[in-house]
Amino acid sequence: MKKQRLDRFISNQLNLPRSMSKTQIHRGKVKVGNTVVRDPSTIIDVDTQAVFYKDQKVEYNEFLYLLMNKPKGVLSASEDKTQKTVIDLIPDNLRRNGLFPVGRLDKDTTGLLIITDDGDFAHRCIHPSKNISKTYVAKLDDELKEEMIELFSKGVVLADETLCKPAILEIMDTKTAKITITEGKYHQIKRMFGTVGLGVAELERIGIGRLKLPDNLKYGETIVLSKDDLLKILE
Ligand code: URA
């Protein structure tokens, strides 16, 4: 049983400001079951009571899970005083309080970024002990060599002597690699290639777990993830 104030429920689920949610309730636009309820402080049980706004059922989702194709030039942060963040790019119909990016992509990195308001889920995605794979395509400034595959598979030691877990390197063409890691150290991919004398010119994340960046999703676009999508990440 999960109890919540009616005005909060309407405001969260329909993404309305709390003041507007209250006004709409006062105006008789909200029913709980068959009954018009005009008191915003009414407590409802979100699991068992059906709520209707203008006669449309309001579905209850405790958390929201979004996938954005992060463009270059925006920060993976919830807010910033001067720079644009990924949260600023979320369309109004998907906005809610408390959304934050799961882990960080560098400002110049593009691709798959999860945004949610579910802290436990985020923790499970990024904690190295969970071994969730993250796959990137990197365009390098010089040629890859076959021996790098074995080197990366053994776990690279970064310049500051940090040991990375084994990574899977696939050479796609002379200067393009697909690389899969199961942790997320600061600038990890760039620093890993740095150990073999290669600079990363372009970096895109294309997958987390079994979840892939959809081909047709444009830079800056966001979609809502389903329960099946979440299982593709966590399984
Ligand atoms: N590794 C990096 O170096 N940068 C990213 O944005 C992600 C992984």
Over residues 13-46, the pLDDT tens digits come to 888 889 999 999 999 999 999 999 999 999 999 9
Contact residues for 62 (Cβ-Cβ < 8 A; gap 6+): 2, 118
Q: Are residues 114 and 138 in the same domain?
A: no
Band of residue 96 on the pLDDT scale cut at 50, 70, 90: confident
Q: Are residues 9 and 73 in the same domain?
A: no
Point out the ligand 1 atom lying closest to the alpha carbon of residue 200.
3
pTM, rounded to two decimals: 0.88
Name the residue of 133, 136, 158, 169 whose CB sits within 8 Å of the most ligand 1 atoms, as the mutation to test its pocket. Answer: 136
The mean per-residue pLDDT over the stretch 101-126 comes to: 96
Q: Are residues 199 and 180 in the same domain?
A: yes
Domain stop point among 36, 57, 78: 57
Angstrom distance (rounded) from CA 214 to CA 15: 26
Residue 171: strand pairing partners = 177
Q: Three-state SS for 52? A: strand
- What pLDDT is attached to residue 93? 82
Q: Are residues 196 and 164 in the same domain?
A: yes
Q: How far is the CA of 108 from the centre of ligand 1 (A)?
A: 9
Domain of 96, in residue numbers: 65-127+219-234
Band of residue 94 on the pLDDT scale cut at 50, 70, 90: confident
Point out the ligand 1 atom lying closest to the alpha carbon of residue 192.
3
Share of the chain above pLDDT 90, in %: 89
Instruction: Name the token pair of 131.
Output: 């071994």
Q: Are 189 and 179 in contact (CB under 8 A)?
A: yes
pLDDT, tens only, 123-160: 999 988 889 999 999 999 999 999 999 999 999 999 99
Instruction: Name the token pair of 68.
Output: 């954005």
Name the residue of 104, 203, 204 whose CB sits within 8 Å of the most ligand 1 atoms, as the mutation to test its pocket. Answer: 203
Residue 138: strand pairing partners = 177, 203
Residue 82 lies in a domain: yes
Q: Which residues line ligand 1 (CB under 6 A)?
A: 105-106, 109, 187-190, 203
Question: What is the tally of structural domains in the chain?
Answer: 3
Q: How far is the CA of 13 from the centre of ligand 1 (A)?
A: 34
Q: What is the CATH number of the domain that holds 22?
A: 3.10.290.10
Instruction: Name the token pair of 209.
Output: 């777990």
